[in-house]
């Protein structure tokens, strides 16, 4: 009965590959987010979707493309992976105007 | 430009004593503040929050204090327990439900 789940938990891949990370929430929330935790441990927002519509898009390379097939899912697709993309990616969800709840994270390592 | 700063990378406290974690912010538009707790290999877990109309919010052993004039907030944990050992992130938003801006985190170790 995990509230916010992400797959895969670990992802090791070569530079130049394309990969996707999936996120699902069963909390009935209408807003979902992607955050990146870099090597300095800062958590920074990348994207936010409300009811399948993009509402926050921070300065993120366009190699990163979020896709929200429905309110319960927000997937992150990354093209042409680079070494600097290695990080932990967290998905989160909330009702509008309420606290955000985070998934367990996906540890991406680009070799 | 770090808008939310946690200047202490780590803190060590004896079990049963008070833990005080500090956070400073620079953006005067921030009006909602949260503390998250994170264990290794897990996502951040919401702990407690406070809006700018209050200066204190208490939930069990956890109390958050907000000093708007100093742009400073703190999290007090009393009494501290070994299970409280984790990384604590301070976060802020300009408007309830808007994007969260996180600090770098403080590692709390509670020794038994």
At A90 the pLDDT is 96
Is the distance from CB of B25 to CB of B34 less than 8 angstroms? no
Give the contacts of A70 (CB within 8 A, at least 6 positions apart).
A52
Whether pLDDT at B67 is above 90: yes
Shortest CA gap A89–chain B (Å): 10
Locate tokens 């408007």: which residue?
B95
- Place A97 in a pLDDT band, splitting at 50, 70 and 90: low
At B26 the pLDDT is 96
At B29 the pLDDT is 92
For chain B, report the end-to-end CA distance as a whole number of angstroms: 38
At A76 the pLDDT is 96
> Which member of A44, A45, A104 has the closest CB to residue B42?
A104
State whether B43 and A43 contact (CB < 8 Å).
Answer: no
State whether A102 and B45 contact (CB < 8 Å).
Answer: yes
Is the distance from CB of B58 to CB of B110 less than 8 angstroms? no
Question: Which residues on B lie below 8 Å from A96 (Cβ)?
Answer: 97
Question: Which residues on A lie below 8 Å from B42 (Cβ)?
Answer: 104-105
- Place B63 in a pLDDT band, splitting at 50, 70 and 90: very high
**Mean pLDDT confidence for A83-87:** 95
Q: What is the pLDDT of residues B80-112, one digit of tens each?
A: 999 999 999 999 998 755 788 999 999 999 999
Dihedrals φ, ψ of B84, to 5°? -80, -10
- Burial classification of residue A104, based on how many CB atoms lie within 10 Å of its CB (0-12 exposed, 13-18 middle, 19 or more buried): middle
Dihedrals φ, ψ of B62, to 5°? -110, 130
At B96 the pLDDT is 59
- Place A39 in a pLDDT band, splitting at 50, 70 and 90: confident
State whether A98 and B44 contact (CB < 8 Å).
Answer: no
Whether pLDDT at A1 is above 80: no
Pick B58 or B99 by higher pLDDT. Answer: B58
**Strand A87-94 to A101-102 pairing:** antiparallel
């Amino acid at each position: 009965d995990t509230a916010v789940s992400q797959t895969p938990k670990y992802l090791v891949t070569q530079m130049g590959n394309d990969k996707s990370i999936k996120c699902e929430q069963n909390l009935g929330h209408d807003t979902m987010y992607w955050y990146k935790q870099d090597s300095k441990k800062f958590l920074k927002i990348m994207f936010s979707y409300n009811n399948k519509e993009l509402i926050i898009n921070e300065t993120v390379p366009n190699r990163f493309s979020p896709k929200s097939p429905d309110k319960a899912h927000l997937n992150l697709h990354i093209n042409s992976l680079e070494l600097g993309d290695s990080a932990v990616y967290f998905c989160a969800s909330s009702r509008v105007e309420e606290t955000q709840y985070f998934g367990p994270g996906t540890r991406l390592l680009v070799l | 430009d770090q808008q939310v700063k946690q200047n202490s990378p780590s803190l060590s406290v004896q079990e049963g004593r008070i833990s005080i974690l500090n956070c400073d912010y620079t953006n005067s538009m921030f009006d909602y503040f949260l503390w998250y707790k994170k264990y290794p290999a897990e996502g951040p877990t919401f702990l407690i929050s406070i809006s700018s109309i209050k200066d204190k919010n208490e939930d069990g052993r956890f109390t958050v204090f907000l000093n708007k004039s100093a742009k400073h907030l703190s999290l007090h944990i009393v009494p501290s327990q070994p299970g409280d050992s984790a990384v604590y992130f301070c976060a802020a938003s300009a408007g309830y439900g808007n994007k969260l801006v996180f600090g770098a985190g403080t590692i709390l170790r509670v020794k038994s």
